[in-house]
Amino acid sequence: MKPVTLTIDGVEVRAREGDNLLWVALDNGFYIPNLCAVRGANPPFASCRLCFVEVEGRDAPTTACTETVRDSMAIRLNTPRVKRLRNTAFELLLSHHHLDCRHCAKNQHCELQNIAMQLGLKLRPKRFRRIPRELPVDSSHHLFTYDPNKCVLCAKCVHVCHERGTGILDFAFKGINTAVTTLGGDPLAEAECESCLACVAVCPVGSLVAKPGVSLKEAEYTMTASA
């Protein structure tokens, strides 16, 4: 592919034409918040709406994970419009996330905490009414637990489960009720799970977590495709 030069916040960056903008930026040390991006996923899922950037010459900000680079592109990461859009997306995500960081297995390793810290945002914003979910937690699997109340619907678990050919996880329901479930809503212990723990490895929050004593290092699956 043809080499190209673009600028990100005024800094020259080299890439290849057609490379994905989000990964070009991240690989060159620029921070763009993201929850749902998986390297190489085509098309990108683009559900979290956190990765907005401005491309010079465009009327409106665009999501970096759906954008490919071309020569002479000029990207801005922190314009007022970008901040407004991604902050709103973040607040909406948190408005129905079960926030209980102190008792969460992912505390200090949660991507929501990381994004809040990187962007200087609060984890308990006041702008939107909180509508936390009250769905049953599935602890039936001997290796991991699934808490749908902490799920951010990033689709990474669905992606890796299908990529491995198991495909027991998918989306069900619509709108605010959308949830990741097994086919037919069966408990994980009764689904045809191959116990690879790929879904646990890619979950950016505390929704899919290994049970005490279970090490992800022992899992067959190594998440190399995602940030």
The CA–CA distances, whole Å, from 87 to 97, 100, 176 equal 15, 21, 19
d(CA 203, CA 6): 32
> Is the Cβ of residue 41 or residue 104 nearer to ligand FES in the bound state?
41
User: 95: helix, coil or strand?
Assistant: helix
Q: Select the residue interacting with ligand FES from 13, 37, 41, 160 (CB under 6 A).
A: 37
Answer yes or no whether residue 86 interacts with ligand FES by CB under 6 A: no
Of residues 47-66, which lie at the interface with ligand FES (CB under 6 A)? 47-51, 63, 65
For residue 125, the minimal CB distance to ligand FES (Å) is 19
Answer yes or no whether residue 36 interacts with ligand FES by CB under 6 A: yes
Q: Where are the beta strands (DSSP E) in the chain?
A: 3-8, 11-16, 52-55, 62-63, 74-76, 144-146, 169-172, 179-182, 208-210
Q: Are 118 and 33 in contact, with CB atoms under 8 Å apart?
A: yes
Answer yes or no whether residue 34 interacts with ligand FES by CB under 6 A: yes
For residue 165, the minimal CB distance to ligand FES (Å) is 25
Count of positions on this chain that bind ligand FES (CB under 6 A): 12
Answer yes or no whether residue 46 interacts with ligand FES by CB under 6 A: yes
Residues that bind ligand FES (CB under 6 A): 34-37, 46-51, 63, 65
